[in-house]
Amino acid sequence: MSGYQLSESKSIAMMKLLALCFFAISLISIPIAEARIRHYKWELKYEYKSPDCYKKLVITINGRTPGPTILAQQNDTVIVEVKNSLLTENTAIHWHGIRQIGTPWFDGTEGVTQCPILPGDTFVYKFVVDRPGTYLYHAHYGMQRESGLYGSIRVALPDGESEPFAYDYDRSIILNDWFHKSTYEQAAGLSSIPFQWVGEPQSLLIQGKGRFDCSAANPPMKADVCNNTNPECSLYSTTVVPGKTYRLRISSLTALSALSFQIEGHNMTVVEADGHYVEPFVVKNLFIYSGETYSVLVKTDQDPSRNYWATTNVVSRNATTPPGLAIFNYYPNHPRRSPPTIPPSGPMWNDIEPRFNQSVAIKARRGHIYPPPATSDRVIVLLNTQNRVNGNVRWSVNNVSLNIPHTPYLIALKENLLRTFSQTPPPEGYDFKNYDIFPVQNNTNGTTSDAIYRLQLNSTVDIILQNANTMNPNNSETHPWHLHGHDFWILGYGKGKFDPINDPKKYNLVDPIMKNTVPVHPFGWTALRFKADNPGVWAFHCHIESHFFLGMGVVFEEGIERVGKLPSSIMGCGQTKHLLKP
Amino acid sequence: MSGYQLSESKSIAMMKLLALCFFAISLISIPIAEARIRHYKWELKYEYKSPDCYKKLVITINGRTPGPTILAQQNDTVIVEVKNSLLTENTAIHWHGIRQIGTPWFDGTEGVTQCPILPGDTFVYKFVVDRPGTYLYHAHYGMQRESGLYGSIRVALPDGESEPFAYDYDRSIILNDWFHKSTYEQAAGLSSIPFQWVGEPQSLLIQGKGRFDCSAANPPMKADVCNNTNPECSLYSTTVVPGKTYRLRISSLTALSALSFQIEGHNMTVVEADGHYVEPFVVKNLFIYSGETYSVLVKTDQDPSRNYWATTNVVSRNATTPPGLAIFNYYPNHPRRSPPTIPPSGPMWNDIEPRFNQSVAIKARRGHIYPPPATSDRVIVLLNTQNRVNGNVRWSVNNVSLNIPHTPYLIALKENLLRTFSQTPPPEGYDFKNYDIFPVQNNTNGTTSDAIYRLQLNSTVDIILQNANTMNPNNSETHPWHLHGHDFWILGYGKGKFDPINDPKKYNLVDPIMKNTVPVHPFGWTALRFKADNPGVWAFHCHIESHFFLGMGVVFEEGIERVGKLPSSIMGCGQTKHLLKP
């Protein structure tokens, strides 16, 4: 008995010890396995910088443009304290590709989800990054993004999980176009009568660096304004080790330009788009539109005794902008050593075919397919046109040009300030039968409006983006449309006018890629499907800065009644002042 | 009895009739005698303008800079609806010289009396102009005034009352200096390490017009940027009829420059300063500092067969800025006909004596003297210095450089948000015994602060402005100090260090002028007295835009408990969001 008791007490003690050990182990492993908080403190300032050798005021984050890269793991909570030190200018920062599930008030879209952040104020964004992948952040206020307020978000898989592709190193490269005029000058020109077009960008930046030819400037510039020996505008150089595989996360935040990106002598295998795995395919030129992100795998399998050019070119516009250059530096060559070759020329700017084909080639990766609902509850057709409204040149959707109000929709809807915007629903389509998309159209019925589309929560919505001619003959532009708060399935691309009877039969419902940004090609259409399952108010707009500024966007509301209590930090503008205590 | 009764009832009837008549007369005269409402609707925009032939973005009011002149009569209520269409930039408008009695929340001083007005918002200013005279309005936010947001306020006497001087015509002329760089570029330079000084202005404007020599620009400018044939920069010309007396209301809103103003061949008799009648005195050159207004009488008694130059020159700084020119056009000569003479050269820039003498010459007009209290309850000495604080060049008062907070003081004090600024009182003086104002000083104890001076309501306060050397040897600048919400008596000016024992004995307590803006001359002092009788929170600061931006100011509070309910329109920034309904 006593032996048994002893044994039992011994085994209990053993179990207790084991339990304690497991508990201790669990304590140790908690910081690894559980989501973490990633805390950033940013100060936004105007500073003189020379990203392409021309000195101008830019908006910096902690002294830098592009700003710091946000690094996190899936399910981490990202907290960014944004101190606005921009003197007299407000700001708001959008976390591009982050769906903000449960935190629609932190989407960072001025006029839609928040009041702007005032000078002197510190605004705290707090959101969960719920999926791995490559995302972006940038100003979402006026045309402020162009001032240099942008950067990368890289969300890794949780520890122990791995991507469906292998690589040795991981790099982020943002492509951008760059204007020498301030965003104030550009925006004032766009809003003026007569219209003053901002023109083509002066240069293209690769990871924040470009090169404007100061000596060719006319009229000439002083050396303190433009100086090609300024180290700030030394070309971006990324060092690679021969015989390895690199994951390059290529993204574009151009104000205007559609781009092609290439690395001399190297193939690129596309494996990710906007945070979704792509069934791999190989390209020489990666076409990329503003707001898109891609991961490509590059093998450093070329002659290691030299460096190679990485270049980016404008496509889709007959731009005067010279190509952007960077150095793909094979270790141990000097990172600034020029490749011995002439940089490769990019594809023809006006050849739509390869761009269209790349769009069609992007499918969800096998084993990572999220099939779309087989049918949709609602189809909204959005005709993209450029037209004149009240004497101003505007971009419109179904002949309605969006005016973002200054009482944010999210607050207006949640707090019943419904007089702050039109309650007449915007059109679900255009005059399909009679509208010819190929000639220049008068569009005399063009209007501006701040009305929005209200969607049934959890309904499935199809969007048909229909391109058309601009106000210039034989001209149709590429518009990259970006949806906030959701990813959509891309069901199909087409040329000419979308046929509502026959084209849906060709939709890819098997392995469509999900994205948050998609181009509609010149004179073409793009069909999307998404589930309106994220309570909030969400912008859907052309990601070309001047196009959105001139009204090329719509706004969706869904499940406003399910939105939680709004934080007071997003308040303070327009009619939200009426929410002040009496 | 009945006769008496009859007579009595008759006389009562007569009296009733008379009363009725008086009542009827009073009814008729009410619209004439009673104060009226002057209603203005303004839209602020960025537009390209060429005030001095160089094209740049300026802030316009209803398309103009300077903005519309506000015309009113004493005791009228002025309502200005300001719509901010500045894209991403806020604004606030100060009504310079208007005391805002009972409406301290409409003083228009960002950070002191209100939150800024956000883009898209319309803010309604409503205040009584309680005294006749010449006043101004301008942006009071960051360095925004320099962008062109300014104009005149002219308050006439009530009908039937007349000025103590006679004139035939009345004209307003604002003088200004003009920079080609944007206020963003200037402000960013001022806040940067190393300090980038904005430099001297490119031109002087007379009533919004100047002339920069485009052909002399180096590097050369394109004709679409600078064009001397642009009608926007034709010289300002004011047409006068020979043999008349003109009241010219001359005011200055320069960002930096102290000015001299003269009309070739004509004397000017000074009769008004900052809304107060001046014992008349004659000048050839009127010295005028930023924030000051004067009325001068000019007789058109010269050869009427020609035009005359009106010119303005920089004084007190060794500026490269050419004189500003305008045409004093004798009818019927053509208003654009150049005078046959060379424009008169202004006074020597570094001759302080005549400027000092003009200051001393300005006394209250006999019959219009408001004697000051014989003694004061409190004396605050404010040492004016330039120093380095935390690596930045700053301007300081008693070695404290003001940081305007972004929760306005008025709201913070009224609503008990006292954590928004330091509750440690700022210093009442400096180390009088040991501080030598003549050499460059280290001022190693310099700090920034947002603390304010709290004054006893209805107490009498003396302010001694004490000038000193800047950070450059043998250099002391002229600072025009402007007080919000009050006029002050100018008790005296002196040279060197103010002597607290002997100088007060020489105070002018007999006929001191009252003003709202006063210079402190290089290496000199100025003594002021005012009654703290206007419940509210009021800025007192150097009116040079870059000096105030760099901290040269203080803030007074008085009678906060007597301030009425604050309008919600001034809220929305900083900690005022905590006043939102839970």
Rg (CA), chain B: 25
Give me chain B's average pLDDT, please.
94
| A57/B572 CB distance under 8 A | no
In single-letter form, the type of residue at position B63 comes to G
Q: How do residues B322-335 score in pLDDT, each as one tens digit?
A: 999 999 999 999 99
Q: Count of H helices and E strands in chain B?
A: 5, 32
Q: Are A201 and A256 in contact (CB under 8 A)?
A: yes
Would you say residue B8 has pLDDT above 60? no
Tell me which of A4-8, A128-132, B345-349, B365-369 is least confident. A4-8
Q: Average pLDDT in the B423-429 region?
A: 96
Whole-number pLDDT of residue B218: 86
Report the residue of chain A nearest B223, measured CA to CA: A219
Distance of alpha carbon B178 from alpha carbon B357, whole angstroms: 28
Is the predicted pLDDT of residue B16 greater than 80, yes or no?
A: no
Q: What distance in Å separates the CA atoms of residue B182 and residue B86, rounded to the nearest whole number? A: 14
What is the per-residue pLDDT for A30?
A: 44
| pLDDT for residue A3 | 41
Edge-to-edge strands, sheet with B245-252: B203-206, B169-178, B245-252, B293-299, B268-273, B276-283
Instruction: List Cβ neighbours of B73 (8 Å cut-off, separation of 6 or more).
Output: B35, B36, B129, B132, B155, B156, B157, B158, B159
B22: pLDDT strictly greater than 80: no
**B120 near A CB under 8 A:** yes
Residues of A in contact with B581 (CB under 8 A): 579-581
Q: What is the pLDDT of residue A28?
A: 47
Per the CB < 8 Å rule, is A568 touching B578?
A: yes
Contact A88 B46 (CB under 8 A): no
One CATH from 2.60.40.420, 1.20.140.10, 3.40.50.2020, 3.40.47.10 for A378-579: 2.60.40.420
- Give me the residue from A118, A406, A577 closest to B569, CB to CB: A577
In this complex, is the C-beta atom of B569 within 8 Å of any C-beta atom belonging to chain A? yes
Q: Identify any residues that bridge with B79 across adjacent strands, giving them in sequence order.
A: B39, B126
| Domains A36-161 and A163-368 belong to one CATH topology | yes
**In terms of CATH architecture, what is B163-368?**
Sandwich (2.60)
Read off the pLDDT band of B31 (50, 70, 90).
Answer: very low
B576 in A contact zone (CB under 8 Å)? yes
**Which residues of chain B are within 8 Å of residue A187 when distances are taken between CB atoms?**
46, 87
**Predicted local confidence at residue B508, as pLDDT:** 98
CA–CA separation, A560 vs A139, rounded Å? 25
- Torsions phi, psi of A193, nearest 5? -115, 115
Q: CB-based contact (8 Å) between A187 and chain B?
A: yes
Put simply, the answer to whether A90 touches B88 (Cβ < 8 Å) is yes
The candidate with the shortest Cα–Cα distance to A91, out of A110, A70, A65, is A110
Give the residues across from A277 on adjacent strands: A272
Strands (E), B390-467: 392-397, 400-402, 447-449, 453-455, 460-466
Residue by residue, DSSP assigns B481-548 as EEESS--EEEEEEEESS--TTTGGGG---SSBPEESEEEE-TTEEEEEEEE--S-EEEEEEE-SHHHH
- Please tell me whether residue B319 adopts helix, strand or coil conformation: coil
Residues of B with CB below 8 A from A118's CB?
90, 115-116, 118, 406, 572-574
Cβ contact, residue pair B580, A574, below 8 Å: no
To test the contact with chain B by mutation, choose from A88, A450, A569 the residue with the greatest count of B C-beta atoms within 10 A, namely A88
pLDDT at position B353 over 90? yes
H/E element, B6: helix B2-33
DSSP 3-state of B240: strand
Rounded average pLDDT over B234-251: 98
State pLDDT tens for residues B488-520. 999 999 999 999 999 999 999 999 999 999 999
Q: Which chain A residues contact residue B565 at CB under 8 A? A: none
Which tens digits make up the pLDDT trace of B117-140? 999 999 999 999 999 999 999 999
A579/B576 CB distance under 8 A: no
Of A111, A116, A578, the CB nearest to B568: A578
Annotation: CATH topology of A36-161: Immunoglobulin-like (2.60.40)
Q: Which residue among B46, B221, B581 places its CB closest to the CB of A581?
A: B581
Ramachandran category for residue A146: left, alpha or beta (phi over 0 → left; psi -120 to 50 → alpha): alpha
Q: What is the pLDDT of residue B356?
A: 98
For chain A positions 71-100, those within 8 Å of chain B (CB to CB) are: 87-91
Residues in chain B within 8 Å Cβ distance of A573:
118, 120-121, 572
Predicted local confidence at residue B445, as pLDDT = 87
- State the Cα–Cα distance between residues A139 and A284, nearest whole angstrom: 32
Q: Are B254 and B203 in contact (CB under 8 A)?
A: no
Q: Which of B47, B118, B580 sits opposite A90 (nearest CB)?
A: B118
Across residues B154-179, what is the average pLDDT? Answer: 97
ipTM: 0.91
- The reply to whether residue A188 touches residue B571, judged by beta carbons under 8 angstroms, is no
Cβ proximity of A168 and A245 under 8 Å: yes
Contact A571 B580 (CB under 8 A): yes
Q: Do B87 and A142 touch (CB under 8 A)?
A: yes
Calculate Rg over the CA atoms of chain A: 25
In A, which residues are within 8 Å of B571 by CB distance?
572, 577, 580
Distance from CA of B381 to the nearest CA of A (A): 30
Is pLDDT above 60 for B20? no
Q: In which region does residue B485 sit, left (phi positive, over 0), alpha (psi from -120 to 50) or beta (all else)?
A: left
Find the residue in B nearest to A192 (Cα).
B47
Structure confidence at residue A569 (pLDDT): 94
Which chain A residue has the Cα nearest residue B578?
A568
| Strands of B514-515's sheet in order across | B447-449, B400-402, B392-397, B378-389, B460-466, B524-531, B488-495, B514-515
Positive or negative torsion for Cα B430, B434, B435, B436: positive
For chain A (length 582 residues), average pLDDT per consecutive 10?
46 56 48 79 97 97 98 98 96 98 98 97 97 98 97 97 97 98 94 90 98 92 94 96 98 98 98 98 98 98 98 96 98 97 95 97 98 98 95 95 96 95 96 94 91 98 97 96 98 97 98 98 98 98 98 98 96 88 58
pLDDT digits (tens, 9 = 90+) for B524-578: 999 999 999 999 999 999 999 999 999 999 999 999 999 999 999 999 999 998 8
Contacts with B568 from chain A: Cβ below 8 Å: 577-578, 580
8 A C-beta contact, residue B575 and residue B417: yes
How many CB contacts within 8 angstroms connect chain A with chain B?
148
Q: How is the beta sheet containing B553-558 ordered, strand by strand? A: B453-455, B553-558, B536-542, B479-483, B517-520
Rounded CA separation A189/A174 (Å): 27
Token digits of residue A54: 């021309």
**A253 in Cβ contact with A174 (< 8 Å):** yes
Distance, in Å, from the CA atom of B43 to the CA atom of B171, rounded to the nearest integer, reads 25
Which residue in A46, A183, A192 is closest to B188 by CB distance? A46
Instruction: Tell the residue number behind the tokens 């009410």, with chain if given.
Output: B30
> Which residue of chain A comes nearest to B569, CA vs CA?
A577
Domain assignments of chain B as residue spans, ordered by start: 36-161, 163-368, 378-579
Residues on chain B touching A579 (C-beta within 8 angstroms): 580-581
- Report the distance separating Cα B168 and Cα B246, nearest Å: 6
Residue B366 in contact with partner chain A when CB distance is under 8 A: no
Is omega for the bond preceding A194 within 30 degrees of 0, making it cis?
yes
Residue A163 contacts B, CB cutoff 8 Å: no
Given an 8 Å threshold on Cβ–Cβ distance, is B573 in contact with A118?
yes
* Residues forming a β-bridge with A296: A248, A270
The nearest alpha carbon in chain A to B406 belongs to A120
